[in-house]
Amino acid sequence: MFLIIVVVIVAILLLAAILAYNGLIRRRNQIENAWSQIDVQLKRRLDLIPNLVETVKGYAAHERETLEAVIAARNAAIEAPDTPAGQEGANDMLSGALRKLFALSEAYPDLKANQNFLALQEELTATEGRVAYSRQFYNDSVLDYNNKLEQFPTVFFARVMKFERREYFQAEESARTAPTVEF
């Protein structure tokens, strides 16, 4: 009888360990998927910027400093480490540079009326919305994973299996407002 009780207890502990491990793996993979969705949207935004800069160049050739700031910010975003912390600063700098670029449309009525500029501006605005949604999904996934790491009985298995907390994607204070797009 004692042997049966020991076998049942070991089986329950083994089942709990398997369920905890599989749950953590599923949540960790969800975080990686969420991060890749952010990456896709950030790359989409980076791909739109050269076309926007070229469109603006034709109308605002003497606004070289603004255009160079956008290009420098884009290059910094491309080179930024592929981590939430690494991407935060680079993308905040890029958002600020884009705000200045969009502000140029007020000084150049012909630019404001250019269909290419308007289409690119609309695409960037839509992409900003996708980035925000992707960041939210990522942070929700991190929350779910980090909660699971701290819940009983997973907390014991997670430590043994060396699962670690993940960091949230947080914007710097200056980036807490969306870029203003004015027509």
Q: The domain spanning residue 30 has which CATH number? A: 1.20.1440.20
- Look at residue 136 and tell me if it is in a domain: yes
Looking at residue 30, its pLDDT comes to 96
Distance CA 45, CA 87 (A): 13
How many domains would you assign to the chain? 1
Share of the chain above pLDDT 90, in %: 37
Cα distance between residue 28 and residue 129, in whole Å: 25
In a domain, 12, yes or no: yes
Enclosing domain of residue 16: 2-175
Asked whether residue 182 is domain-assigned, the answer is no
Q: What's the alpha-carbon Rg for the chain, to the nearest Å?
A: 24
Tokens of 85: 């912390």
pLDDT at position 62:
66
Q: At residue 181, does pLDDT exceed 70? A: no
In a domain, 181, yes or no: no
* pLDDT for res 23: 94
Nearest to 137 by CA among 26, 20, 36, 24: 36
Task: Annotate 97-110 with b (16+ C-beta within 10 A) or e (fewer).
Answer: bbebbbebbeebee
Residue 139 clears pLDDT 50, i.e. is over it? yes
